[in-house]
Every structure is written in C-alpha cells, then in structure tokens.
Structure 1
Amino acid sequence: MVTDAADYVDLVLEREGDWYRADATRDRVGEPAPTGFPHQSAPELRFTGASVGAVRGAIRDIGNKYPKLTHDDVTALASELWHEPVFERRLAAVVLLQSRVAMLRNSDLTRIEGFVRTAGLRALVDPLATDVTGPLLERLAPGARGHADVAVDRWGEDPDRWLRRAAILSSVPMVRASGAEGDGWPRVVRRLRAVVAFGTDPVVDEAVDAVRAALAKRSPDVPFPR
C-alpha cells in the first residue's frame, strides 16, 4: 500500500510537471554558498516542475484513497518519498508529515533528523522545523517531551548548520504562541546559546533572527538572550 501511494504521487508529479517550472523552482530554492563560509551542498536534486498546489493535492488524495493510514504507514511513506533525490517528492514527504503531525511520536525525531541532514535547502528544512518538529514537541506529554528535548538540544550543538537551523526554528511556534511566558522558554534560551557558542553562520543566524522577531512581537519587554 505504501509503495502504491508513492507511485501515485510520482504519477501526479509527472502529469503536473513541466520543464520551465522545474527550472524556475531550481533557481528559486537553490542555496548559493554564503560569502566566506564553506558550502554544505545538498545531494544533486532533480525537479519535476510540479507546483506546490499539485504536491499538496497529491497528499490530500492519498488521505482520501487510504483513509486508514497508521502511524507506521505515514512514516514509511514519508521515508519512501524522501529516498529519491527529487525535490517535489521530498516536498510531498514534508507535506505528508505536516498533515499528520498529530500522529507523530518523539521517536520520529530520528527520521526527521535524517531528512534535515540530507535536505540542504531552506524550502525543505524550514517546514520540517516549524511545521513538523515544533508542533510535535508542543503536543508531547511531559515524559516523552523530555526525551525529545534532549534530541533537539543535540541538534543545536551539531556541526551540521542545517540541523542547528532546525533546532532554533522548531522553537518559533512556541515563541509566537506564548513568548517568554511559556514554560518552554528556558529550552529556547538554552538552544540559542548553544548555536551562538558554536559560531557565526548566516544559515543559522537567519533562524536566530526569526526567534528574535517572534519574541519582540509576543514579549516586547523581554530582552533577547545573549
């Protein structure tokens, strides 16, 4: 069933794709090396040229065709979609996880970490962080949340810049919702200090700026941690 679902996504991407949109998408999501910093490139990706709407429609159709998808079905399908180095397939995996985030568990952070490590693109890393990891962390029970926090704290200290970016961006939903008044704020401060201690990197600095902006809007009187 999982392979059938992945094959259906492939059919949609092939049907809805075109070469000029593929070129435009490649130009839009490509990651040039920041000046003065080593480039961590993603694996060479192919682009089908299917629109974001087509990708979302394919995942919506999967939900209608297979209404009884279990947690294991969802995570296996996400991994199968991610396996091929095709941008739209990987985007479909992200959309699938977004749509089923209520089913995810703290143990799924290992899979998400693997996706982030091999993504190398803001267009894939950012939704994995803010729309999957962040909401997943917020809905966990205290015991499971403790184990998950250990994992995401480790991301913040990892040499992989995209994993450090994801660690910080995963905090943005919580900061937007409750600012420094939320019980998760100490965890945010801990991760911010970890990535800052690691050193300056424009890819990670963008994530820090996103938290700064969210804090300024939600808790304007609270100084940003240093």
Structure 2
Amino acid sequence: MDQRGWADELDRRIRALPGPTTESVRRVRREYSKRLRSESGESVVSLAEALVDRHRWVAYELIYHHPSALTCLSVEDVEGLARRLDSWGSVDAFGCCLSGPAWRRGVIPDEVIHRWAASEDRWWRRAALVSTVPLNLRSRGGTGDAERTLGVCALLVADRDDMVVKALSWALRQLVVQDPEAVRSFMRSHQDVLAARVVRETGHKLTTGRKNPPRTTPPR
C-alpha cells in the first residue's frame, strides 16, 4: 500500500470510531505503529505528510514512535509538517513529538529553533519554546540541556504574548527537574523583564516542586 493509501485507511478507521476520544484514537495509532514498524523511516514520514491535515497529532506520533523516522527528517520536512499551526494544542503536539525530539537528536540545528523564536508568528515562537521540553523531559528521552533551553528562553524573555509567556514558564519549569540551579541563575539575571506568571509559576516549581501552591482550606 502506498502512503496515501495508508493515510486514507487510517483516516477511515479513526472516523469510524464511535464517539472518538484521545485514548481510542491512540489505540488505533498504536496498532498502525506496530504494522509500520518494518517500513522505512522515509515511508512513515511520507505517510505523516499525507495524514497531517486530517489527524495532526496522530501523524506526529507515527513518526515519533517509529524506530528510524525521526532521523530521516530534514528541516524542510519538519517545517512542512508544521503547516497551519494555529493553536496551543497543535503547537504542543508538534514541539513534544516532532521538533523537540528531532532537535535533541541533532536532526534540527539550533539556528532553526532560534529562527522560529524570532518569528512574527506567535505560534512559531511558542514552538521554539515547546521544542525545549523534550530536551529535559525524561519520558521523552531528555537528560537535561540547560544551555540550549536557556538560549531559547533568553530570546523570548521579554515577549508578552500570552501563548509565549505560558510556554516560557513551561520550558523553565521542565528544566527545574534537571538543573534547578541553572534556572535560579536565569531567573536572577532576568528578574526585571520576566512576566509575572513566569516568576510565580517557576518560583513555585523551584520551592515546592509544583507549578502552583497547594490549595488550603480556609478556617471555619
């Protein structure tokens, strides 16, 4: 079956689900990941390109969970698979499953992520920050990369777009798990320009290990 045929079949399977949920769609994706395991990485990338406009995060996960598809990507492939990013959900799936892991493996050079950070498009700027998360998230294979993470954070430290501010907080909080001292130093160096949300949420993560302080029951 060619890649368009695979994409059409997978699309039909997902559309046939009664009341599809993330978990039920993911079960279908897992089934296809097993079936595609022996296919070449290039074939899976082509399949994802045929599927991305219909089931974006499924397309990204097919690449992420294939043994070699991530390493077959080019910068042009990655940016092509990002077409029509227009929400935090689509950007976060892209950054966590595709661009971040590809960057961590050296498929995407730092210069590309920095170019996204300089974009006039808020979603590309958010994508640059979200791409740092897999560098530090153990469940995504991250082992900690303060230099690259904070390099991107520094480029967007004064950005006040809400979607970018929230992503900056996320990027810093994820690095806290791996290198809290690097985050403390960054916070001190940029304390006069960081958004209040970033200071608050990252500060809580540093002191309590949580994004927000625990709720307390008011005295009766």
Cα distance 1:52–1:194, how it changes in 2: closer, same or farther (>3 A)?
same
The CA deviation at 1:102 is 4.3
Hey, what does 1:80 align to over in structure 2? 50
The AA in structure 2 aligned to 1:109 is V
* Cα deviation digits, residues 58-100 of structure 1 (max 9, x gap): 22232344443212211111111123xx4xx222212212212
The AA in structure 1 aligned to 2:3 is V
Conservation of the 8 A alpha-carbon contact between 2:37 and 2:66: no
* SS of alignment partner, residue 200 of structure 1: coil
Please show how residues 168-207 of structure 1 align to structure 2 within 5 Å: 168-176=129-137, 182=144, 184-197=145-158, 199-207=159-167
The AA in structure 1 aligned to 2:61 is V
Please show how residues 148-167 of structure 1 align to structure 2 within 5 Å: 148-167=109-128
Larger CA Rg, structure 1 vs 2? 2
1:125 equivalent to 2:126? Answer no
Hey, what does 1:25 align to over in structure 2? none
Q: Which runs of 5+ in 1 are unaligned?
A: 19-49
Instruction: Name which of 110, 119, 130 aligns with 2:76.
Output: 110
TM-score between the two structures when normalised by the length of structure 2? 0.71
Bigger share in helix:
1
Instruction: Give, in whole Å, the separation in 1 of the partners of 2:131 and 2:180.
Output: 20
Conservation of the 8 A alpha-carbon contact between 2:61 and 2:97: no
Q: Which runs of 5+ in 2 are unaligned?
A: 191-220
The AA in structure 2 aligned to 1:202 is D
* Cα deviation digits, residues 31-79 of structure 1 (max 9, x gap): xxxxxxxxxxxxxxxxxxx222232222223234444321221111111
The CA deviation at 1:117 is 4.5
Conservation of the 8 A alpha-carbon contact between 1:117 and 1:162: no
The CA deviation at 1:167 is 0.8
Cα distance 1:98–1:15, how it changes in 2: closer, same or farther (>3 A)?
same
Instruction: Give, in whole Å, the separation in 1 of the partners of 2:11 and 2:72.
Output: 29
Q: Matched residues, percent identical?
A: 25
